[in-house]
Amino acid sequence: MAKSSLHAQRQAEQLESPEDELAIPEPFGEESGDPLEESGCTMDTSEDEIEESVAEDIQRFEESFEGINKRYRLINRVGEGTFSTVYKAEDLEYNKYENRWDIDERESRKWASPPGHRKKTNRPHYVAIKKIYVTSSPMRIFNELELLHDLKNSNSVCPLITAFRHLDQVVAVLPYCQHRDFRDYYRDMTIPEMRRYFRSLFTALHSVHEKKILHRDIKPTNFLYNTELERGVLVDFGLAEREGTDWHPCACTLTPEERRYRTTHSVWAQTQDRPSCYPKNDTRPSRRANRAGTRGFRAPEVLLKCTQQNTSIDIWSAGVILLTLLSRRFPFFHSADDIDALLEITALFGRKKMKETALLHGQVFETNIPSYTENGHSLEKIILWCTNRNTKDEVTGLKKELDDEEKEAVQFLYRLLECDPAKRITAEEALRHPFITKAYEDGEGDEDLELVDA
Distance, CA of 291 to CA of 284 (rounded, Å): 21
Q: What residues have CB less than 8 Å from 207, skipping those under 6 apart?
A: 151, 154, 155, 156, 157
Q: What residues have CB less than 8 Å from 385, skipping those under 6 apart?
A: none
3-class DSSP state for residue 94? Answer: helix
Distance, CA of 365 to CA of 355 (rounded, Å): 5
- The alpha carbons of the chain give a radius of gyration, in whole angstroms, of 24
Exactly one of 217, 236, 314, 338 is catalytic; name it: 217
Please state whether the peptide bond connecting residue 331 to the residue before it is cis, i.e. omega within 30 degrees of 0. yes
Q: Which of 1, 3, 8 is nearest to 288 (CA)?
A: 8
3-class DSSP state for residue 102? Answer: coil
Distance, CA of 264 to CA of 18 (rounded, Å): 15
Residue 190: Cβ-neighbour burial (10 angstroms; 0-12, 13-18, 19+):
exposed
Q: Which of 415, 302, 341, 419 is nearest to 333 (CA)?
A: 341
Q: Which of 312, 322, 313, 325 is nearest to 429 (CA)?
A: 312
Distance, CA of 431 to CA of 42 (rounded, Å): 28
Contact 18, 8 (CB under 8 A): yes
Distances (CA, A) of 29 to 21, 241, 302, 352, 368: 18, 11, 10, 29, 29
Q: What residues have CB less than 8 Å from 107, skipping those under 6 apart?
A: none
The yes-or-no answer on residue 217 being catalytic is yes
Dihedral angle at the C-alpha atoms of 220, 329, 422, 249, nearest 10 degrees? 70
CB atoms within 10 A of CB 109: 11
Distance, CA of 208 to CA of 147 (rounded, Å): 9
3-class DSSP state for residue 30? Answer: coil
Dihedral angle at the C-alpha atoms of 185, 186, 192, 198, nearest 10 degrees? 110
Residues noted as catalytic: 217
